[in-house]
Amino acid sequence: MTTTQPSNPFMHVARGARASQIKRTIQALVVVLCAATVTASAAGSGADWPAFGGDPGGSQHSPLTQINKSNVKQLKLAWQHRSGDFIDAPSPKGSLLQVTPLHANDTLYFCTPLNRVFALDPTSGKERWVFDPHRPDAKSGRPALSPPLVMASRCRGVAYWQEGSAAGSSASVTAPAAANGTGTPGGPCRKRIFKNGESSRVYALDADTGELCADFGAAKGHPGWVSHADYENHGEGLMASSTSPPVILGDLVIAAMSVNDGIANAKDGIVRAFDVRSGALRWEFNPIPPEYRNRSGAANVWSTISVDPARNLVFLPTTSPSTDYYGGGRLFDIPLANAIVALDGATGRVVWSKQVVRHDLFDYDLVGHPVLVDIRRGGKTVPAALLQTKMGWLFGFERSTGEPLWPIVERPVPKSDVPGETAAATQPVPEGMAPFARQELRREDLFGLTPIDRYACQKKFDELRYDGMYTPPSIRGSILFPSALGGGNWGGAAYDPASNLLLVKAENLATVIKVVAKKDAREDQAPPKDYLTRALVGTPYRMEGELFQSPLGIPCTPTPWGTLTALDLGTGKVRWQIPLGQIRRAGVTLPQRAGLGSPNVGGPITTAGGVTFIAATMDAHLRALDTLTGKELWAADLPVPGMAVPMTYQAGGKQYVLIAAGGNAQVGTPIADYILAYALPDRPEAR
C-alpha cells in the first residue's frame, strides 16, 4: 500500500448542385462517423472512467471484468491519498467529500471541497500536479485569482476534454483552432480539465500540467475561466456554480448553476454552453418563461447532466421553482421545472421535455442525470432515458422523441389548506414499473426502538396532517413522505446491460414540514437554520422542518431506512431489494441483520464482472454485491463514510476500484479527506 499526503477538410468550395449535394452527404457521414468513433473511444476497453457516470450517458457501468464475483473477496487496499482539504465542523460549515474522480489521459483527476484540483498517478496515488485558484502561480507569474465570495463545501467532480476525441457532435468537426496557438497541435491545453468553481465560475486547466488555459475566458478579461456572472441571470440572491461537474459534448463544455430557491424571485436556473477553447458563449437555456422571470426563478440543475453524442442531445434534470415549499407567488405554469429536458446540443433549444412534478410544493427536485442506456423491453432494444425521482418512481422515455416507455397517468392528490396556495389537482404517475422506495406511511407500522418510543411516534403522527403521498405543507404541520431527502437521491442509479437491471438506491425517511405566518418583514432576514427551516424570502410564510423522529432521535419511518433495489426493465418488476447499511443512534449501532438499513448519500456502479459496488451509508463501508441477487460478496471498512459514487478503471494491467471517503457534515458523521483505491493482490490467494 502507498500513502501520499498533503484543419477543416472542406476548404474547397464545391460548385454546382451535384457537388453541393455530395459535400452535404460527406459532411453528414463525417459527423456520424465522428460520433460513432467517439462513442466507441469513450467506452474503449473500459480502462478509463472519463465522465462522472463512466460514459457520456451516465450508465455508471464498467465493462471491466478482472474483478469479478469469484475473486472480489480478495480485494485489498492498494493506495490512499489525503489532500488535507476538509473542514471538520458541524453542518453547515463542515465539508463534504462527494467527488467521483475521473480516469483519463493515464491520470486520475478530482476536486476537493476547498476548490483545489488534484491529478494523481493511477497506480500509486502520488500527486502529479495540484491547481489552487487562490494561490499565485509561481511558474507563470500569474497572480492569485480573487478570493471566492462563498467557499465551496463540496465538489462532485470535473470534466475531461481532449482535442479530436471529445464526445461527438458537428461542432467537433467544424470548430476552428484557437488563434493564439493554445489548444492547437503541439501546443498546451490540447487536453483540458473543466471544473465548476466558486462564485459561478468554470475553470479550464491543462490536463497535463494543471495550469490555467489562457485562451479560455480571455475575451471577458479573465484568462483561464468564464463566469455565469458575466451574463444576465435575472432575479435576486446569490448564485454559484453547480457542485456537480460540467459535461462535454463535442467542443462545448456545458455548465449549470446553483441558486437560492428560498427567495421568491430567485436567480433563474440557466444552463450555458461555452466553447471549450475560447470560453465564448454558444447558447443558454432558461427554464423560466420570459413573462415570469421577475416573479419566480430557480428550476435550476444542481445535479449531474448526461449527453447523447450520437443524437447530439443534452439531458437535464431540473428542480423546483422558487420558492420550493410555497408556490402562492407562482400560480402559473412553469412546464420546464421538475422536468426531464432534452436540448439540441448545437442550439440549446428544447427538443422535448416531460414534467414529472406539477406545481412543486415538496422540494421534489430531480436529483440525478437521466441514465441514457439501450434497454430490452417488449422483445426490442430501446434507446432509453431513465429518470429516478425522490418520489420513488422511475420514469422511462424514448430518447429521441420523449415518448413514455411505460404509461404515465394523472392521479388526484391532496389539496392545500394554506391561504394563498393552490396545490396541483393531479400528479403524473408511471404505471407498469414498480416503485423502488416506500411511498406510504401507516400508523400501525411506525418504528420505535422501545414501546414508549413507538408510542411517541404514533402520538406525533396523530397531531400532524398526513393524507398520503403529495400531502402539501400545512399550518398544522404535515408529514412529507417520501420527503425531500428521497426516495431516490443524488448518485443513485446504475445500469447493468447483461441482466437489463437498473440498480437504484433509496432513502426512506419522512420529514415534518410546517408553514408559519410571518409577523413582519424582518423575518425575511433570518438565516436558515438548516436544510428544512428557512425564511422563504418574499412570501408571507416561513418554513419549519425536521425529521419525523422519536425523542431518542430514531426515525419514526418504518424500516428499512435505506435500500438498494434491482428493477427488471423488461418486466417492470423488482428483481430484488435489500436493506443497505447500518445506523448508530442513541449510542447503539443497530445490527445489519436487523434489516434496518441506513440513510445514505451516493450511489452504485455495476461492472461486467457481475459485481456492484456501493458505499453511500453511514456505517463507513464499501460493499461489493452480486448484481443478480444483491448478496454481499465483500466489504471494506472505511476510515469515515464514503458518501460518494465509486468508480473503477484499469492501469498498469490492474483493475482498481476507488471511493472518496470524507464523511458528511449534514448527517453528522466524522469528516476527512481520503481517496482509497482497492485492487486484487499481485499473487492471488488460494481459494
Catalytic residue IDs = 363
Angle made by CA atoms 87, 93, 95, in degrees to the nearest 5? 40
pLDDT tens-digit map of 79-127: 999 999 998 888 778 889 999 999 999 999 999 999 899 999 999 999 9
pLDDT given at position 25: 40
pLDDT > 60? residue 184: no
What percent of the chain has pLDDT above 90? 77
pLDDT > 80? residue 234: yes
- As a dihedral over the C-alpha atoms of residue 427, residue 432, residue 438, residue 444, rounded to 10 degrees, the angle is 90
For 84, the 3-state DSSP assignment is coil
Yes or no: say if 685 and 139 are a contact pair by the CB < 8 Å rule. no
pLDDT tens-digit map of 641-651: 999 999 999 99
Yes or no: say if 606 and 498 are a contact pair by the CB < 8 Å rule. no
Yes or no: say if 192 and 238 are a contact pair by the CB < 8 Å rule. no
pLDDT > 80? residue 683: no
Mean predicted confidence (pLDDT) in 117-139: 88
Residue 587 CA: distances (Å) to CA of 298, 554, 601:
40, 11, 22
Partners of residue 657 on adjacent β-strands? 648, 678
Q: Are β-strands 61-62 and 604-607 bridged in parallel, bridged antiparallel, or unpaired?
A: parallel
What percent of the chain has pLDDT above 70? 85
pLDDT tens-digit map of 486-498: 999 999 999 999 9
pLDDT given at position 32: 37
pLDDT given at position 198: 82
The backbone torsions φ and ψ at residue 71, rounded to the nearest 5 degrees and listed phi first, read -125, 0
Lowest mean pLDDT among 141-150, 294-303, 581-590: 141-150
Q: What is the DSSP secondary-structure string of 586-630?
A: TTEEE-GGGT----B-S-EEEETTSEEEE--BTT-EEEEEETTT-
Q: What is the DSSP secondary-structure string of 339-375?
A: EEEEEETTT--EEEEEE-SSS-SS-----S--EEEEE
pLDDT given at position 140: 52
The C-alpha cell 460518494 sits at: 644
User: What SS3 string covers 375-441?
Assistant: EEECCEEEEEEEEECCCCCEEEEECCCCCECCCEEEEECCCCCCCCCCCCCEEEEECCCCCCCCCCC
pLDDT > 80? residue 129: yes
pLDDT tens-digit map of 158-174: 999 999 864 433 333 33
pLDDT > 80? residue 200: yes
Q: What domains sit in the chain, N to C, each tagged with a CATH number?
A: 1-59+95-369 (2.140.10.10)
pLDDT given at position 153: 72
The C-alpha cell 474522480 sits at: 101
pLDDT range class, residue 685, cuts 50, 70, 90: low
Mean predicted confidence (pLDDT) in 519-546: 85
What whole-number distance in Å separates Cα of residue 565 and Cα of residue 574?
Answer: 7
pLDDT given at position 589: 55
Mean pLDDT value across the chain:
88
pLDDT tens-digit map of 285-344: 999 999 999 999 999 999 999 999 999 999 999 999 999 999 999 999 999 999 999 999
The backbone torsions φ and ψ at residue 290, rounded to the nearest 5 degrees and listed phi first, read -55, -40
What whole-number distance in Å separates Cα of residue 626 and Cα of residue 629?
Answer: 6
pLDDT > 80? residue 588: no
The C-alpha cell 422540494 sits at: 363
pLDDT > 60? residue 151: no
pLDDT given at position 454: 96
pLDDT given at position 681: 95
pLDDT tens-digit map of 332-369: 999 999 999 999 999 999 999 999 999 999 999 999 99
Lowest mean pLDDT among 106-115, 134-143, 170-179, 620-629: 170-179
What sign does the CA torsion over 659, 665, 670, 671 have? positive
pLDDT > 50? residue 563: yes
pLDDT range class, residue 9, cuts 50, 70, 90: very low
Give the residue among 286, 279, 285, 347 at the shortest CA–CA distance from 313: 347
Residue 118 CA: distances (Å) to CA of 153, 496, 615, 671:
16, 30, 22, 19
- Could you tell me which residue, 197 or 66, shows the higher pLDDT? 66
Model pTM score:
0.90
pLDDT tens-digit map of 27-70: 443 333 343 333 333 344 689 999 999 999 999 999 999 999 99
Mean predicted confidence (pLDDT) in 632-637: 98
The backbone torsions φ and ψ at residue 641, rounded to the nearest 5 degrees and listed phi first, read -55, 145
Lowest mean pLDDT among 80-94, 223-237, 282-296, 518-532: 518-532
Q: Which three cell numbers stand for residue 677?
A: 483505491
